[in-house]
Amino acid sequence: MKVEEIIKFLAEPVPEAQVDPVTKVIAFISRDFKIWWTYKLWIILDILGSLLFVATYYFVSKIVSPQALVNAGYAADFLTFTVIGIAFQNYVFSSVSGLSEAIREEQWDGTMETILSSRTSFRVFLLGESVFRFIVASYFLLASMSMGVLMGASFNLNFSSFLAAAVLTILLIVSHMVVGILGAGAILKLKQGDPIVWAFSWLTQLFSGVLYPLGLLPGYLQWVGAVFPLTYSLDGIRRCLMSGEGFSSLAILEDITKLGLFILILLPVSLWVFKKAYDSTRREGALGQY
Amino acid sequence: MKADKLIQLFKNDEPRLASPVRQLLGIIWANLKILLAYKSWLIMDLLSTVASVVMYYFVGLQVDPQRLVQTGWGTSYLAFSLIGVATSHYLWSCLTRLSHSIQHEIRGGTLETVAVTPVNMFVFFIGLTARGYLVSSIYLIGVFAVGIVGLGVRFILTAQSVATALLSFALMLIANQALGLIAAGIVMVHKRGDPVTFIVAAMNEFLAGVLYPLEMLKAFPILQGLSMMLPYAYALDAMRRSLMFGVSLADQNVFSDLSILFGSTVILVPLGLAVLQWGYRTIRRQGTTSSY
């Protein structure tokens, strides 16, 4: 019997009906929501943790002079400045690290190999794993911002600034999915903690102006912040939410352009890196190893 | 055949018993090996230590020295926050490390295995906490090294001030570790409770004034009342006074802080040991040393 005949004998018929990617992503979201909702105490405590962080900076704001913020072109309000910084930094960190953790858990449970052996492409898998993390992170973002408002943070919004902030937030999400995908690729190959996401976390805290305007950094360190999309997102969002600037502001247009360029260049690169890691892990038969 | 003979028949040779010190060293060595297996994490931890100190340096550049002086803490926010940041890692280790490690052992099924050996469980629990202390010590040394050598923070280091700071630190560790023992005892029995330990540690960090002077809480009597119940708040106050102003035990504030800390340890340590013992005995009696 020839090899072709054996293959033909063993081959199963390809299923005609295919589940469309949107349904699959919704299934991912539904699954993740069910798991998330099981741990209700953690949900409450996670929110409490975010609120404590904001409350800490409420007290720090009482001894801070807003002069550095004014020099950097922001409104003289340290509390609002830090609430936006902390809320959005946590937002991107929890979504990005959430993606890596999800992949790690799939490896541990042995479910990644099962899913990827089915007719689900790795792009749908990645999207499915990411979307719910961003939804949960948005929930915490709103909680932190609301806590900030309760403590005296003030936002200066109008229709144009709201729209610009929404566009910047979408760009923020997409640009950080790039980082998440790179981290996920690293986990597939390295099978352990995610150094990319950790490095990303502390580098952005330090250089993206989460707690202070970048003007305070010495000139030779300011260029480091220019590498991270969070720097432009935070700058733009703060200008929208604190000063009411919209699309007519040159600074905001500049931030949007830079974020767009970041996504255009790095999204294909990150997908390529993930695909390489994915293919190599599949070839080694190591998708289920951890 | 009599029961005694049967027992004698099944009885093995006397097991070789290592001394408690050897057992402790063995447990620490095992944990150290696990820790060193994650080298990239260690490197990331060290780098994030540097990053956190540098971050507070830049936050400190925004602090109005006049407002900090009004709270009674001099003009250097970095010196103020450095002591809080360096010791807060220890706080987390004391409060959460043991309960977390025990849950890990229960999940891995190794607690039951160890429990049936002649290992002294008290020694085993001390060994489990040692890893947290080791990591926190690296963090503490890293934070002070970056702050003092890299960023030029000046502390008043006399024999008396250093001795006072070390005494406050030791009392802080003992008092908070006792709270950690209580948490571990409860977690062992109820199998969950890690979230509660987490929030207790976060509340401690927030209310003890790691990043801001507690004088700010005067406008919030409930928060101030809660903060006065935390041993860590007194330890931070004493450590800051001794290292930033060079005062010793003779200072009235420091003496009062240390007296309260000492009182806390006298109450909490026996309580912590009792709860831990109760937790361990309960799961042994219920046969749930490997249930989670």
Is residue B14 in some structural domain? Answer: no
The verdict on residue B13 lying in a domain is: no
Query: Whose CA is closest to A235, among A261, A259, A267?
Result: A259
| Closest CA–CA distance from residue A216 to any residue of chain B (Å) | 7
A193 CB near a chain B CB, below 8 Å?
yes
Q: Indicate whether B118 belongs to any domain.
A: yes
Is A64 in CB contact (< 8 Å) with chain B?
A: yes
Is A76 in the B-facing interface, judged by CB distances under 8 Å? no
Q: What is the DSSP string of A81-130?
A: HHHHHHHHHHHHHHHHHHHHHHHHHHHHHTHHHHHHHSS--HHHHHHHHH
pLDDT value, residue B134: 86
Whole-structure pTM value? 0.81
State residue A178's pLDDT score. 84
Give which of B276, B94, B92 is closest to B189, Cα–Cα. Answer: B276
Number of domains in chain B: 1
Distance from CA of A41 to the nearest CA of B (A): 7
A138 in Cβ contact with A91 (< 8 Å): yes
Does residue B35 or residue A171 have the better pLDDT? Answer: A171
ipTM beyond cut 0.95: no
Question: CB distance from B214 to chain A under 8 Å?
Answer: no
Give the distance from residue A49's alpha carbon to the nearest chain B alpha carbon, in angstroms. Answer: 7
Q: For A61, which residue in chain B has the nearest alpha carbon?
A: B63
DSSP state of A18: -
- Annotate A109-125 with b (16+ C-beta within 10 A) or e (fewer): eeebbebbeeebebebb
Q: Answer whether residue B12 is part of any domain.
A: no
Residue with tokens 């640009």: A175
Best mutation target among B58, B75, B143 (most A Cβ atoms within 10 Å) is B58
* Contact status, residue B201 vs residue B95, Cβ threshold 8 Å: yes
Angle at B53 between CA B76 and CA B33, to 5 degrees: 140
The alpha-carbon gap from B18 to the nearest alpha carbon of chain A, in Å, equals 35
> Could B47 and A202 be called an inter-chain contact, meaning their C-beta atoms sit closer than 8 Å?
yes
Closest CB to B58 among A78, A203, A216: A216
Sign for the CA dihedral angle at B63, B68, B74, B79 comes to: negative
Digit-by-digit pLDDT tens for chain B (292 residues) are: 577 777 776 666 666 667 888 888 888 898 888 878 777 777 777 787 788 888 888 988 889 888 889 888 888 899 999 999 999 988 988 988 888 888 888 877 888 888 888 888 888 888 888 888 888 898 899 899 999 998 889 999 999 999 999 999 999 999 999 999 998 898 888 876 667 778 888 888 899 999 999 998 988 999 999 999 999 999 999 999 999 999 988 999 999 999 999 999 999 999 999 999 999 899 888 888 777 6
* Structural domain containing residue B23: 19-286
pLDDT at A15: 61
Strands (E), chain B: none
Identify whether B39 is part of a domain: yes
Q: Tell me if B9 is assigned to some domain.
A: no
Residues of A in contact with B96 (CB under 8 A): none
Domain-located, residue B257: yes
- Average pLDDT of the segment spanning A42-59: 84
Task: Out of A56, A64, A205, name the one closest to residue B63 (CB).
Answer: A64
B195 vs A: CB within 8 A: yes
